[in-house]
Structure 1
Amino acid sequence: MDLLRSYWSPAELVTNGLILLHLLGALAVGLLLGYERSYHGRAAGMRTYGLVCLASAALTVVNAYPAMWYGGMGSEGAAGAGDPTRVIQGIVTGIGFLGAGVIMREGLSIRGLSTAASIWATSAIGIIIGLGFYAVAIAAALLTILVMSLLRPIERLLPHRSVVHLTLVFPRDKAPPPDELRAQVARHGFEVVDWAFHLANGSGQFECQLVLQGKGDLDPMILVAALASTDALVEFKLSPSRI
């Protein structure tokens, strides 16, 4: 009974209250960061970010009170705070698997890298909150939101290149020479930077996979309209290299 009462001692309740404040702060920051991703229609939203930040803070902050573990009886003689670095290493490993789960490959395009990076950042912010550095955590959360929300429009304003992947399927006897394909996409502002060719066995179809590059944000719909009006073309697919 003494052991059970020790879990509800005044000192234990005060410690639990302090830990709860850390968890509430971490949850609020995680929900805030997750809303930005949810607003943009990403797979990982408020619940994912809130849980990541909350769990990271919880696993970190308990290391600050080793003398109160197990009702204050399981760490007798412990001096100072516990070592949170081992817990942090475990958090970093676990977040790596979670981040990999939101990265998806669609053909030659890869999506979810920014979401995975922001989940990693949310975990780090949760660890900072768990250690008690609230000012730094708030600043890191604001900087993370700034990067995720405002940096992409700035990227579009800076000089850059657009990369798209184009797949063309022709009948075997009507496939145009590579120079003709290169000239056609060049008329729409694109340059062929890489290519692959595939002749389907038995189907009589010739497939061309082209990687196109252009300066700035070129309108691909003009190229799509030109491809759609090509009689010899059986099928085509145009997709961006990243989003």
Structure 2
Amino acid sequence: MISNGDIVLRLLTAAALGSFIGFERERLLWSAGIRTHMLVCVGACLFMIVSAYGFQHATEMEHVTLDPSRIAAQVVSGVGFLGAGAILLRGNIVRGLTTAASIWAVAALGLAAGGGLYFAAGAATVIILVILAGMKPLEDAYRTRL
């Protein structure tokens, strides 16, 4: 079993990483902002902690086998519903795909933090921020040329 301090560290790491992504979305006034991204990231982190450590006592029972990856897999599916809620269809224009993708990516950050993969979660956060903030000016420049 992991310590209470490690649990708090993992949850706070998830909250911080989710807030970075959420702030980037918030500054552009998108529907899912800081709080949404933080909640998804912390929730996914907690699911991972529960999945990996919450049933350790059951593994000591005879004829019991557990697969901790099952809960993580369900997080991926469940977050898809949140993402679908962020996607709007207005006439022939679809909006919110990037926000939905960022919610999905933040869930993955939470799973990584919950699994104690701090470097992977931190590196992915930087990459996601580069994609969201750094690619937007390039995308806009390309579109104005068309």
TM-score bracket, normalised by the shorter chain, equals 0.7 to 0.9
Match in the other structure for 1:196: none
Q: Which residue of 1 aligns with 2:71?
A: 87
1:89 deviates by 1.6
With normalisation by structure 2, the TM-score equals 0.87
Supply the distance in 1 between the matched residues of 2:81 and 2:54 (Cα, whole angstroms). 29
Higher relative contact order (CA 8 A, sep 6+): 2
Equivalent of 2:108, from 114, 124, 140? 124
Whichever of the two has the greater Rg, that structure is: 1
Whole-Å separation in 2 of the counterparts to 1:75 and 1:17: 23
More strand by share: 1
- Secondary structure at 2:16's aligned position in 1? helix
* Matching residue within 14, 18, 24 for 1:26: 14
Whole-angstrom distance in 2 between the partners of 1:119 and 1:84: 22
Q: Tell me the secondary structure at the aligned position of residue 98 of structure 2.
A: helix
2:22–2:38 CA contact under 8 A, matched in 1: yes
Alignment partners' CA distance in 1, 2:49 and 2:34 = 22
Partners of 1:77 and 1:95 in 2: CA distance: 32
Tell me the TM-score normalised to structure 1 length: 0.54
Tell me the C-alpha RMSD between the 2 structures: 2.2
Tell me which protein shows more helix as a share of its residues: 2
Give 2:123's aligned residue.
Answer: 139
3-state SS of the aligned residue for 1:117? helix
Q: Is the 8 A contact 2:51 2:69 kept in 1?
A: no
How many residues align structurally? 143
Are residues 148 and 91 of structure 1, via their aligned partners in 2, closer, same or farther at CA, if it must alter by over 3 Å? same
* Alpha-carbon distance in 2 for matches of 1:17, 1:120: 27
Q: Which runs of 5+ in 2 are unaligned?
A: none
User: What amino acid maps onto 1:83 in structure 2?
Assistant: D
**CA distance in 2: counterparts of 1:76 and 1:136, whole angstroms:** 28
**Aligned to 2:58, what secondary structure does the other structure show?**
coil
Shift of 1:107: 1.2
Letter in 2 for 1:32: F
Structure 1 stretches of 4+ moved >3 Å: none
Q: CA deviation at 1:99?
A: 0.2
Percentage identity across paired residues of the two chains: 39
Of the candidates 92, 112, 115, which is equivalent to residue 108 of structure 1? 92
